[in-house]
Structure 1
Amino acid sequence: MSASHEFTPAQVEAAIRFVVHNGAEDRGQTISYSRVFDAAGLPAPQYLHMGGESHLVTEFMAAFHHLCVDKGLPPLDSLVVHVAGPRKNFPGAGYFRVNQLPDPLGEKTRAVDQVTSTQFWERQREACRSWGVQSRRGRV
């Protein structure tokens, strides 16, 4: 692979389709960043981070979020989580940033903001689960 990676709208679309079929329509299951990036044909986020391309992870997930909004899809980015480390089973800080909320796992985040942000995330995941049920039944 080259030292610099970019992504295309088609890769964002592929990632969204993957999350629809393997997350939302599968009882609103969460999916690892690595699986989503693999579905898009991109290197795993940890490799991008190690290669100094952390911005690409953030930019890709922001594009993912905004395309879901543009397409009238539920907030599918709420189903994309880390599988290890201090953020295990939680989305990255960028998920909360794109939703204009404090990161509940941030060092300086107040307890009340931790609760508010976490509850927001839980509601978004539930919206994906509900949408997934309707999609499986052919109602969306």
Structure 2
Amino acid sequence: MERHTFNEEQVDAGIAAIIERAKDRGQTIRYSAVFAAAGLPEPQQLHQGSESQLVTDFMKAIHDRCIERGLPPLDSLVVHVAGPRENWPGGGYFKVNGLADPMKERVSAEDQVKATRFWEDQKQQCKDWADRERRMR
């Protein structure tokens, strides 16, 4: 079975795809579109092929690269389009940010609220950034 890897150019390509959506009022983008832009298989295929860690690592690389490039937390705009996490980021998003996954069982109401507010704040940062970017054009 082929194992997949990614490089910095693919991370930047994923970020570019997110930026395209973000500049349109901070809209979210589906994981599969980000991975396709980077030339990677869809996350579902990676999970099915026992490469779940690659999905996590790629999204962490996007998170870190946004910080390096002085960009807003664009990883907050990457969401699932179906299933129980529809319109929500994956659990790794919350883990990367040191928060409990609010969609997991046995998470306290306090931790659910904290994580959800954090995510909403990060999405707002992206929307504000997109507004500034549009005004500068």
Tell me, yes or no, whether TM beats 0.5.
Answer: yes
d(CA) in 2 for partners of 1:33, 1:21: 14
Deviations 1:64-102 (A, max 9, x none): 000001111000000000011111100000000000000
- Pairs within 5 Å for 1:1-140: 3-22=2-21, 24-138=22-136
In the TM superposition, what is the alpha-carbon distance from 1:138 to its structure 2 partner? 2.0
d(CA) in 1 for partners of 2:108, 2:122: 21
d(CA) in 2 for partners of 1:41, 1:134: 30
Deviations 1:106-129 (A, max 9, x none): 112101110110010000000001
d(CA) in 2 for partners of 1:17, 1:61: 14
Q: Which segments of structure 1 move beyond 2 Å, counting only runs of 4 or more?
A: none
Amino acid at match of 1:12: V
d(CA) in 2 for partners of 1:19, 1:84: 19
Report how many residues are paired: 137
Deviations 1:21-76 (A, max 9, x none): 12x10101010000000011100000000011000000000000000011110000
Gap regions ≥5 residues in structure 1: none
In the TM superposition, what is the alpha-carbon distance from 1:135 to its structure 2 partner? 1.1
User: What is the RMSD of the two structures over their aligned residues, measured on CA atoms?
Assistant: 1.0
Gap regions ≥5 residues in structure 2: none
d(CA) in 1 for partners of 2:30, 2:65: 19
Identity rate, percent: 58
d(CA) in 1 for partners of 2:94, 2:31: 15
Amino acid at match of 2:63: H
